[in-house]
Chain A
């Protein structure tokens, strides 16, 4: 019987995180302080982060030691299994070998505690008494609450009110781990009170919750702030996923042709892919795919869905003058929005052609998730289903080509607290309007002659 799971012992856990900033083909530009226009410095971030995390945020050291005290907690569920998806392969009748890192084993059920744990630890040793954060539906808030319980550090979570009311189980997880969770906007901060004064019935937003969490940190010298994605130190902590995967694949003498992860803020994707991105930067032939959500299936067609001719972060994809006319080029919004909220390192690696972006329609993602559940047994998180959908596409391509490709993806979390999304799928609520073909053609004609700003790339 061939092994289903490829395991590492606790002694074989990586002892260092990998920092891709040391190997970026195009060096990252430091962000500028909006007030001074000067590069952001440690003092600018000191009100919300402890100095040890700020040092990691700006470090260009390739390898950074993982403290023993962090490994002790990560050991609760790590090393996570690398799993061979035999049943999925059989259902797809593909010659591809499909592997996934199962990150759903962690107590909160996802990859998030890979960074929540070190962030709680570094705050603890820096003398922080309390950490605040914001959360939407509660994945990140529950992960940080778990990490706070492990180190005896108080956690305060500002949860977007609409989610607070709809997602009691994540909130209860936070409470069980000893954290305090407020529906945001709350009366606990100046920013929250101001908003409630204007609109007492507001359902809240992530922007408001971030403001509350940051204000609570800034206004108390014993309190700091933590976040679950986008920033460099978060990507760094998550590389434990990919580093383990490399060791596990080495044990069985395999290496991926394709690495896939779903990408929202980019942390689980970076965690799996960055160690392999390093190999690619130094010449290895690997396809690395970041999969994003897309509502409309027709948006995945056409050059504009994959057109990365513009810089990220600073400018929109198109000059502003295209709006205000009688046509709003929807596909362009679909493409441009991809960059909002994505980790800068991931965005830059897309521009450098190290990473390929892919947008997948939500119906396809749920079809993929259901197939995965009925073959491999795990009900994946709706976000994770985007990666699974891409895996299935690549596996089918491998079958067409008759090639034994090795596909590795990140099973970033389970969906057991998110079954409302599956309910919407089974109830047929995900799709009921067909975007007319002539609208797509019209959009293509409009963007064809438009100029594009300069690109910061190594190519």
Chain B
């Protein structure tokens, strides 16, 4: 039986950030859903497959474990388009 509180405090080095993060972070990093690396990173600490099946539906798991991969440029252009819509016109820079 997994002690959720203890599990949430366990930490490991995040290969994306380059620093230590707790499991509680890995569970929510994709807009409140787990990171796509959660299985790869946490398999040495617990039966992560069983944990995910206990906490998420199959379609949720499919969604966050296999996000539609985009190349970096495409991702940046998506963000540019969103930023253009939200900012409208040029503003003074952040101080």
Q: Do A and B bind each other?
A: yes
Question: Which B residues lie within 8 Å of A163 (CB)?
Answer: 17-19
Asked whether A191 lies within 8 Å of B20 as measured between CB atoms, the reply is no
A44 surroundings in chain B (CB, below 8 A) = 77, 80
* Chain B residues with CB below 8 A from A433, complex form: 43-47
Cβ contact within 8 Å between A215 and B20? no
Interface segment among A237-245, A273-281, A313-321, A448-456: the answer is A313-321
Residue of A nearest to B18 (CB): A137
Neighbouring A residues of B31 by C-beta, 8 Å:
207
Listed stretches A8-16, A17-25, A69-77, A325-333; interface member: A325-333
Q: Within residues 31 to 55 of chain B, which ones have a CB less than 8 A from any CB in chain A?
A: 31, 36-37, 39-49, 52-53
Evaluate contact between A295 and B58: CB separation under 8 angstroms: no
B94 touches A330 (CB 8 A): no
Could you say which of A144-152, A220-228, A368-376, A387-395 contacts chain B?
Answer: A220-228
Find out whether the CB atom of A136 lies under 8 angstroms from the CB atom of B58: no
Contacts of B12 in A (CB 8 A): 295, 424, 429-430
Q: Once the chains bind, are B40 and A334 in contact (CB under 8 Å)?
A: yes
Tell whether, in the assembled complex, residue B53 and residue A34 are in contact, meaning their CB atoms are under 8 Å apart: no
Which chain B residue lies CB-closest to A57? B73
CB distance from A28 to the nearest CB of B (A): 10
Binds B, one of A92-100, A113-121, A338-346: A338-346
Residue in contact with A313 in the complex, picked from B46, B69, B82, CB distance below 8 Å? B69
Report whether A136 and B87 are in contact in the complex, using a CB–CB cutoff of 8 Å: no
Q: How large is the interface on A (under 10, 10 to 19, 20 to 34, 35 or more residues)?
A: 35 or more
A341 and B15 CA atoms in complex are apart in Å by 11
Assembly CA distance A137 to B19 (angstroms) = 6
Q: Is the CB of A324 within 8 A of B69?
A: no
Q: Which residues of B contact A188 (CB under 8 A)?
A: 94
Q: A35-B81, A136-B16, A160-B17 are in contact. Are A216 and B93 (CB under 8 A)?
A: yes
Q: Which A411-459 residues have C-beta < 8 A from chain B?
A: 418, 420-421, 424, 429-433, 435, 439
Of all chain A residues, the one with the shortest Cβ separation from B52 is A328
Contact between chains at B58 and A323 (CB < 8 Å): yes
- Is A407 interfacial (CB 8 A cutoff)? no
- Say yes or no: is A103 at the interface (Cβ < 8 Å to chain B): no
In whole angstroms, what is the CA distance A219 to B16 when docked? 27
Q: Report the separation of the CA atoms of residues A231 and B90 in the bound assembly, to the nearest whole angstrom.
A: 26
What mask results when residues 1 to 28 of chain B are scored 1 for a CB within 8 Å of chain A, else 0? 0000000000111111111110001001
Contact A214 B76 (CB under 8 A): yes
A-B contact pairs, 16 of them (CB 8 A): A48-B76, A48-B80, A137-B18, A162-B19, A219-B87, A225-B76, A264-B16, A299-B43, A320-B66, A324-B61, A330-B39, A337-B36, A340-B36, A430-B44, A433-B45, A435-B43
Which B residues contact A (CB, under 8 angstroms)?
A: 11-21, 25, 28-31, 36-37, 39-49, 52-53, 58-59, 61-62, 65-66, 69-84, 86-87, 90-94
